[in-house]
Amino acid sequence: MFKYIAKRLLYMLFTLWLIVTVTFFLMRAAPGSPFTGEKELPPAIQANLEAYYGLDKPWYMQYVDYVVSVAKWDFGPSFKYKGQSVNDLINDGFPVSFMLGMEAIFLALAFGVLLGVIAALRHNKWQDYTAMIIAVLGISVPSFIMASALQYFLAIKLQIFPVARFDTFMHTVLPALALASTPMAFIARLTRSSMLEVINNDYIKTAKSKGLNAREITIRHTLRNAMMPVVSYMGPLVSGILTGSFVIEKIFGIPGLGMHFVTSISNRDYSVIMGVTVFFSVLLLVSILLVDIAYSLIDPRIKLADKKGE
């Protein structure tokens, strides 16, 4: 286990270096500059700004400085938010995005597994067809369209939830539902197909022949063994929730990290774009590692590494 985690950490560091490098050069290749606006700055003022932020240095010196600062977990100052660093924006916005993301993940897992189990236990019946129709709609409809529909029907027409902002728990329900709609549909389909496969195994038939009740067979034997595909989906699920929150936070006016990212793109705030990209990349790499470790905890038969350390 220790050798596997150490090896994965080395791979994560290498992957993170690649992400930092690609992000840095993509930002440098983008047309314009962080100080480009509707009104052109005088050359002297622009030169002073570039000197203040270190943009007058050769590209290789800027690259080395940025890699060193990222290694120190310092993403530098923001070009547009005066007096604030990228770290300040992350510290302010990430707790909001994290709370919204955790709520969306909980909804996706809870309702996705529930729909999948109902569809598997009522195979080829109306419950199965209804659950799969919901899953197909969740996969087909993009999250931003779902967000607009939820706002129109549940907030404007029925006035059950607030339209936007982020003041109380009720303000989090609609954006969390919009974020959870697509992953919930994937989880429902994964759970259904895995449950149908497990139900036909011999040990399930043996458990039924021993007289175990249906609830015990479903929870202890069927569902537990059918959860492996869902666990494997947790890595992409975290990624989808995080990237999906960019647009959702903008639609609902939520002051999270995703909204800062979208605003930084329109403002050409390159340091925020690069810093948020690296930060989310770290979260994604860590989540994938945790999912791999969870494999061995759920099913001890799965080995993280063989005797040769492969």
Give the DSSP per-residue string, 249-262: HHHHT--SHHHHHH
In terms of phi and psi (left: phi > 0; alpha: psi -120 to 50; beta: otherwise), the region of 73 is left
188 token code pair = 């429902």
For position 38, what pLDDT does the model report?
A: 56
Sorted by sequence, the CB contacts under 8 Å of residue 170 that are 6+ apart come out as 161, 162
Query: Among residues 297, 288, 298, 178, which one has the least CA distance to residue 234?
Result: 288
For position 307, what pLDDT does the model report?
A: 43
For position 231, what pLDDT does the model report?
A: 78
User: What does the alpha-carbon distance between residue 301 and residue 5 come to, in Å, rounded to a whole number?
Assistant: 18
User: What does the alpha-carbon distance between residue 228 and residue 107 come to, in Å, rounded to a whole number?
Assistant: 19
For position 306, what pLDDT does the model report?
A: 47
Domains and CATH numbers, the chain: 1-310 (1.10.3720.10)
> Any idea how long the chain is?
310
As a dihedral over the C-alpha atoms of residue 228, residue 100, residue 111, residue 231, rounded to 10 degrees, the angle is: 0
Phi and psi at 202, nearest 5°, equal: -65, -35
Cα distances from 58 to residues 35, 65, 207, 216, 283, in angstroms, run 18, 11, 70, 67, 31
User: What does the alpha-carbon distance between residue 57 and residue 51 come to, in Å, rounded to a whole number?
Assistant: 8
Per residue of the chain (310 residues), give pLDDT as tens: 678 788 888 988 999 999 999 988 888 887 766 766 656 667 787 778 778 777 788 888 989 999 999 999 998 888 877 778 899 988 988 888 888 988 999 999 999 999 998 998 888 899 999 998 988 888 888 888 999 999 999 999 988 998 888 888 888 899 999 999 989 999 999 989 888 888 777 677 676 677 666 777 777 667 777 777 887 787 778 777 876 778 888 889 888 888 888 888 877 788 888 998 898 888 888 888 887 777 666 666 555 554 444 4
Sorted by sequence, the CB contacts under 8 Å of residue 95 that are 6+ apart come out as none
Angle 234-252/257-266 helices, nearest 10 degrees? 70
This prediction's pTM:
0.79
**What's the number of CA atoms in the CB half-sphere (13 Å) around residue 241?**
29
